[in-house]
Structure 1
Amino acid sequence: MSCIFWNCQGLGGPLTIHVIGDLLRRFNPSLVFLSETKATQVLIEKLKRRWNLFGLAVDKVGKSGGLAFFWKKKIHVDLISFSSHHIDVEVHSQHDNLIWRCTWFYGYPEHENKPKSWDLLRTLHNHRSFPWMIGGDFNEILSNSEKEGGLARLPYQIEAFREILDVCNLSDIGYEGYPFTWTNKREHPNTIRSRLDRACANYEWISIFPDAKALHLPFPGSDHIPIMVALQREPRVNKRKLCRPFRFEAMWIGRGECEDIIRQTWGENVTSEPMEDLIWKRNECRIALTKWMKYKLRLFGLN
């Protein structure tokens, strides 16, 4: 199973619809989320029939906004809630009777409205406790290393995003591909690039999908790039382990692979980095070690 999400900057043009159709044919995703559709319900209904998918949409506000969520007819999806900035669903896997939560998110782009984004995330977190993945355009970065060009983000702005992810027990699942997901498309030296789009998940979801990865798909014609989350779920899941907190095992100390993971995650010059960056790297290191541990257990048939 895979999911694709994209801030498509409007479904009005035939090129955008052609690109989405190409993504569907090429990657065959089970779930597709589009933000900034600027579309009417009539257009969404036409696209559902054209792509042979189920779907639902949140109307645009004026000439901007709009969300759309499509899914394959063989996937069972239950709607939990929606607004002009999110669509929250339960996904039921008929193959293994697994239920997990998927939230599609579009953060407020205006600086003065950022607290509304974080309040919405807090509300969503308090709603249900399933294994949870959330993806979309958060309109914020977690570090100035996720930005190129323009003025640096102020520390308090970055910290507010980090803090709400910690409150919600969410961690970025990482990515492969080009490091930035948005550009202002201006000529050098006025070019700005940022990683505004991402997928995050709680520990329970990562335990079920330890090999999940977000792939940044190349598409030079838009401000944002599409992102595909490939789940690559393990064939067996020990449900008793889903809620077990992360613990560093003493026996890992003697393993060279474990040391390499820690060095790669933390880097060589950790003492010169701001404290908030070091704190965030703790979560990245935890995810990397969790995935390594799951891989080792699979090799020996222990999970």
Structure 2
Amino acid sequence: MLGGCVWQEWSLWLLWREEVGELEVVKSSDQYIHARIGSRTEVINLIVVYAAPSPNRRSGLWAALEDVIRDVVGPVFVGGDFNTIMRLDERSGGNGRLSEDSLTFGDWINNMSLIDMSFNGNQFTWKRGKTENNFVAKRLDRVLCCAQARLKWQEAKVSHLPFLASDHAPLYLQFTPEVKGNAYRRPFRFEAAWLQHIEFQELIGASWNRDIDTREALTKLEVTLRKWNKEVFGNVQRRKEELVMEIKEIQEKIEHELSDELLVKEWSFLRSLR
């Protein structure tokens, strides 16, 4: 995932990892950031969007993005929270017709010849309500791209990840299929999460040998930590992963058979995760 954005009091942030490559912020506003990623030989134009929550506040955004996209050279990806939908099936509930703002958004996508990259996972990316009577869900977040980008990365896909800590589901853009390495060949790394475990400080105190060379002591400590991580801490990690999978399954059921019982169960699991 190349980046993410956060809306807080009209502030927009773009975060990235250094290993992604060179990143230059070309242009930004309170509703989008245009960044150029890569080198001279291969460049990706990434535009992250967090449209204002009301149509009045985001008026002019589509025209501003149109100017940005027409000026770029190379493949373009535009993604984020557009705070509006394109079609009636992109929401649960409603009055049965699209708003003027939704129609304008759809026209903008067509006029710019952008391609909706579709998605894997849950249909909706935003939801609100804890009971069946007041539950509302919409697909407010998406990733669009130009034809050049779609042709170049034909295996690229977008995944809607589970709702865990927000009313929006994270979007994950993956350019190439994931290649899993051999777990036994991974280098040893200290995990910051270990510090939160109630037994960790005691384990370090009991395992560190002050009577031998530091390098040798570190090597022996690595063996101990690997074993402890697998047999003790790993159980916590596995339970967390299992809990996330249970939440994902419940959220999938909610999309197809909404009920107060499922909403209560989801909320209970989310509280356990925290």
1:208 shift after superposition:
1.0
Q: Which of these residues, 220, 236, 245, is aligned with residue 164 of structure 2?
A: 220
- Counterpart check, 1:210 vs 2:181: no
Contact 1:181-1:216 within 8 A present in 2 as well: yes
SS at match of 1:70: coil
Cα distance change, pair 143–205 in 1 and its aligned pair in 2 (3 A): same
Of 16, 32, 35, the residue aligned with 2:6 is: 35
Deviation for aligned residue 1:162: 1.1
Question: Could you tell me how far apart the structure 2 residues matched to 1:159 and 1:67 are?
Answer: 25
Partner of 1:43: none
Query: Unpaired segments of 5 or more residues in structure 1?
Result: 4-30, 39-63, 234-303
Q: Give the equivalent residue in structure 2 for 1:73.
A: 18
Separation in structure 2 between the aligned mates of residue 81 and residue 168 of structure 1, nearest angstrom = 19
1:127–1:186 Cα change, 3 Å? farther
Normalised to the residue count of structure 1, the TM-score between the two structures is 0.55
**Could you tell me how far apart the structure 2 residues matched to 1:222 and 1:134 are?**
21
Distance of 1:154 and 1:34 partners within structure 2? 27
Instruction: Give 1:112's aligned residue.
Output: 56
Partner residue of 1:194? 138
Unaligned runs of 5+ in 2: 178-274
Superposition map of 1:1-303 within 5 A: 3=1, 31-36=2-7, 38=8, 64-74=9-19, 75-92=21-38, 97-154=41-98, 156-232=100-176
Report if the CA contact (8 A) 2:49-2:81 is conserved.
yes
Choose 1 or 2 for highest CA Rg. Answer: 2
Letter in 2 for 1:132: V
Q: Quick check: which one's strand share is greater?
A: 1
Q: Which residue of 1 aligns with 2:203?
A: none
Instruction: Tell me the distance in 2 between the aligned counterparts of 1:153 and 1:225.
Output: 24
Report Cα offsets for 1:207-265 as digits up to 9, x if no partner: 111111110111233110111000118xxxxxxxxxxxxxxxxxxxxxxxxxxxxxxxx
When residues 70 and 219 of structure 1 are mapped into structure 2, their CA distance, relative to the original with a 3 A threshold, is same
1:232 is paired with a residue of what secondary structure? coil
Sequence identity of aligned pairs in percent? 25
Aligned residues: 176
- More relative contact order in 1 or in 2 (CA 8 Å, sep 6+)? 1
Contact 1:108–1:116 (CA under 8 A) maintained in structure 2: no
What root-mean-square deviation, in Å, do the aligned CA atoms of Structure 1 and Structure 2 show?
1.8
Q: CA deviation at 1:126?
A: 2.4
Q: Is the 8 A contact 2:25 2:35 kept in 1?
A: yes
